[in-house]
Structure 1
Amino acid sequence: MTCAVLITPLVDVVPKIENCDYIGVDAGALKIIDQGFPIKMAVGDFDSLSEEDFKRITCPIERHPIMKDETDSELAIRLCKDYDTIYLYGAMQGRIDHTIANIRLVMYRFQNVVLIDEHQKISVMNVGVHEIDDSYHHISFYPIQEGVLSLSGFLYPLDKRRIHIEEIYTTSNSLTGKKGIVRVDEGSFLCVQSNWR
């Protein structure tokens, strides 16, 4: 499995993930460099960097104009089309419009992207069986399209329950043990895991 780790400017501590390529999103490139990780590429408009800081980025750079239709995160994700899994760090912090945009990218366009930060993780679960461990206390499921969901090993189990697009009662579940099993028989779901209390 190939893996890319995208670091945005909002990341304070760059996580160490083995056997992954690090890619800087805009000023996130300096976070990777300053914390001593190898950087494969940087992409963005770099509008928040001085020319002096921009010159510190010595890896290959794909620079875009400030006025554009895509966010810097979307441009970086597009560059990673050959990776099996893409971790986007810092995608749920800062401006709410950017957070919503990042969630929509995962829901509707790039379902191999995982949004992640110190306390939260958002990913897509398509038809199939998925295992969840107890790394996160709160686990929620939101239908991207109407679907059928089963949960075992959860405080609130489900057995082939049809979930309509507007329903939110699958918010804030938790595991009863170390692992839980999620089965998606139809549709797809946004899985939101959180350690916020």
Structure 2
Amino acid sequence: MFTSLNRIPLIACGGLLALLVLCWQAYEDDETAIGSLNSQVSALTTERDDARKAQALQAFHFNRMNRITGEAQRANQQTADHAEHLRHAVHNSLSAQSCHAVLLPVADSDRLLGYVSQLRQTALHPDAATGAGTHHSGAAPRRLTWGQAIEWIPLLLGNIQSCNQDKAAARRIDEERASETTSTQ
């Protein structure tokens, strides 16, 4: 029934069928590998895009904070310049008055200097416990003239205004952060 001539085409067909099965299997393996690589590329692309978004958002925050800080610094410089100009104007107008060189009473002078020292100490060391009143430590009482006491007022008010501007800038930064977090949610 099967002669040698019939076996050759049958073996050739069997070999061809085996070759087709092997090619199909290789194709399926390649498709699986390509699918796996595509999913890895997709995951890495998503990770890269997320990292770029986070980096852009961080740069945006830094730029905004730098802008707000710069505005606060410019406002503080303007306040300091205005306070110094006002102090100079007060000095010029007071130096013509006879009371300019009159000494303040010792109690008032000590109280004013103690208040300024306490403000300075609180600003430099806000966590340190400060005692009430002035600390004399046996030093001679310091005396101020009326002119000196009045000249200090614009400078103190300028410093207070600068501190208020710094706090307003910090509040503005916090408000923008809070509004941003609520808008992203």
TM range (shorter): under 0.3
Ranked by relative contact order (alpha carbons within 8 Å, sequence separation 6 or more), the top structure is 2
Larger helix share, 1 or 2:
2
Larger strand share, 1 or 2:
1
Answer with 1 or 2: which has the greater Rg. 2
